[in-house]
Amino acid sequence: MSQSKEELPESQEVSSESPEDEEPKANPFIPNPKAQWCPKCEAHWSDYDYSYYHSVSGGNSTIEDQYNCKVCKATMFNPAETLPWMYGTVGFGAFLLAIGLLIGLFKGEFDFKNGGPEAVLILFAIFPPLIGLMQYTYMRKWFAWSSAQKKKSAEELEQEAMNAPSAPEGGSAEKAEP
């Protein structure tokens, strides 16, 4: 897919520069919550496949980015962007549950048979936390990996980077986003 320079993420723009202009490569095994992270490889590869999906519905435009690891083809994520969504979805579900419970308590009953507003809110309160729970499984893996990496010495991290597989297509798998 051909993209203009404005549409490319910053890491892809840097990787297209000539080797003489490149900055020193960052170790992909040093935790960086602002960089894309592969949960399968447990590394911040900067050489990834970027794609996006653009949809328009009812005048609303949505763009969804997706980053896939070139080493293992798994979907990558950005921990700094995922964490607020995880908390937000769980918080929204808790808010819906609280409103549903308050309506039911003030009415003196919970009308699940006829689908009263309290029942609808309580039932809809289930779904946002499920999305948050899916995000939590990835974030838990990130937190465990990040904690373990912070306990390692600089030499151990450098050795881990030297023993790591490199990305196919001659890419620079050792470089992480700044």
Establish if 143 belongs to a structural domain: yes
Cβ atoms of 156 and 107 within 8 Å: the answer is no
pLDDT in tens, 84-123: 999 999 999 999 999 989 988 888 877 777 778 888 888 8
Q: Which of 48-62, 66-80, 94-108 has the lowest mean pLDDT?
A: 48-62
pTM of the model as a whole: 0.62
Residue 14 counted as domain residue? no
| 96 domain residue, yes or no | yes
23 vs 106, which has greater pLDDT? 106
Evaluate whether residue 84 is within a structural domain: yes
Q: Which residue has the higher pLDDT, 150 or 167?
A: 150
Is 87 buried (19+), middle (13-18) or exposed (0-12) by CB count in 10 A?
middle
Rounded Cα distance, 41 and 70, in Å? 10
Is position 82 within any domain?
Answer: yes
In a domain, 178, yes or no: no
Residue 29 lies in a domain: no
Residue 97 lies in a domain: yes
**Domain range holding 99?**
36-163
Mean pLDDT of the chain: 77
pLDDT value at residue 25:
67
User: How many domains does the structure of the chain reveal?
Assistant: 1
